[in-house]
Amino acid sequence: MIWLVGHHGMLGTEVYHRLRARKLEHVATDLDVDITDRQAVSGFSDPSALSWIVNCSAYTAVDRAEDEPERAFRINADGVRNLAWAARQKGARLLHISTDYVFDGRKEGAYLETDPPNPSGVYGRSKLQGEIYIRENIDRHVILRTAWLYGPAGANFVRTMLRLFQERDEVRVVADQWGSPTLAGDLADAIIQIITRETIQYGIFHFTNEGRTNWFEFASLILELARKHHLVDRQVRLLPIKTKEYPTRALRPANSYLSKEKIKAVFGIPVRPWQEALESFMNDMASHSGKT
């Protein structure tokens, strides 16, 4: 039995669809089980039946976290500790989703799983504390760090850009923050591959789509593909700007590029280029909208 936590979120929705499609025995919860309530978590599910807890829930409001750190830590740290305790109590394994924000973004080149974390903001610190609680409380765990996540469910950069392309004649996008976009469905596929394996190597792994880009280049391809698939049929001018021209409450990492070599080597998981994943996503959006 697999317990999927956070099945209404952007990633959780994709994992949920795959569990159902594969007919894998599972139970899915969202706000109906409060992970910050230790008794609610430990009292959920039959201990003898549970093999994995997959945690796709999180507090992800990066800027708002600066003003409500207690809530961010309650969900991203204390809630995760409760899940780790429950997994250990029930003899289950824990797969947890973490983030590039555990790094400060000052490194040149790809971040490895062995690089020391140094988060700059509340969100990153809360996610790092969740990782620490997992390592302290359960040996049989997989922590997947990801970045720049987008998909059909929930708010994300791709959907925001598509909305702005319809509303504005000019869109300004940061061009000096680097990383790799991640299609939620591709990350969900990786999760399913891990939790259905007979043998597992535990620890921290990175997963995004392959290739390095910046937000402006990402937005440029979104616009190109949106025009190709008739999701945008008006003229829009994209302008690259610097981070300092778009101040935010929380500091964004200048470099969020994560190495995928470990997850490819250990699990043999294929990682397709971010451009290919985006093309697939935009094609699906057009199909569902009836424009292709």
- The domains found in the chain, sorted by start residue, are 2-155+181-212+257-272 (3.40.50.720)
Instruction: For residue 123, indicate whether it is catalytic.
Output: yes
pLDDT computed for residue 289 by the predictor: 73
Which has the closest alpha carbon to 52: 183, 202, 182? Answer: 202
Strands (DSSP E) contained in the chain are: 2-5, 26-29, 52-55, 93-99, 141-146, 149-150, 170-174, 178-179, 182-183, 203-206, 213-214, 237-241
pLDDT in tens, the chain (292 residues): 999 999 999 999 999 999 999 999 999 999 999 999 999 999 886 656 899 999 999 999 999 999 999 999 999 999 999 999 999 999 999 999 999 999 999 999 999 999 999 999 999 999 999 999 999 999 999 999 999 999 998 899 999 999 999 999 999 999 999 999 999 999 999 999 999 998 999 999 999 999 999 999 999 999 999 999 999 999 999 999 999 999 899 999 999 999 999 999 999 999 999 999 999 999 999 987 766 5
Name the catalytic one among 59, 101, 111, 123.
123
- Structure letter (DSSP) for residue 29: E
Residues facing 2 on adjacent strands: 26, 52
